[in-house]
Amino acid sequence: MDRIKRRDRKIYGEIQKFFRDELEKKADLGIALHGELEGWRRAHICDDRYRVIWRDLPEIEDYTGASGDKVVPVQVARVGPKTPAGGGTIYEQPIP
């Protein structure tokens, strides 16, 4: 994300908006991945030029929200262009 922020503030803002406005409010967002990325999901953003790859973690009690609210944290594996400068696709890069 830091690299994207340095290169293109507009794209960085759109990615942040995706996290805040889309991912936070829709539990079934994205497309499930298969094979080595089983359990992860993806979404196309920024006019289909960028990809976000994430997975849901176990839900936790929302101690800052209303009584009974739950929070589903996510682990973001990759955010970047569909085809990085190094070649291949974002899906072929290792998950940290």
- Provide the whole-model pTM: 0.77
Rounded Cα distance, 41 and 55, in Å: 6
Q: pLDDT digits over 76-96, tens only?
A: 888 888 887 777 788 887 776
Burial (CB count within 10 angstroms: exposed 0-12, middle 13-18, buried 19+), residue 46: buried
Q: What is the pLDDT of residue 27?
A: 67
H-type alpha helices, the chain: 2-7, 9-17
Q: What is the pLDDT of residue 63?
A: 65
Q: pLDDT digits over 25-66, tens only?
A: 776 788 999 988 899 999 998 888 889 898 888 887 766 767
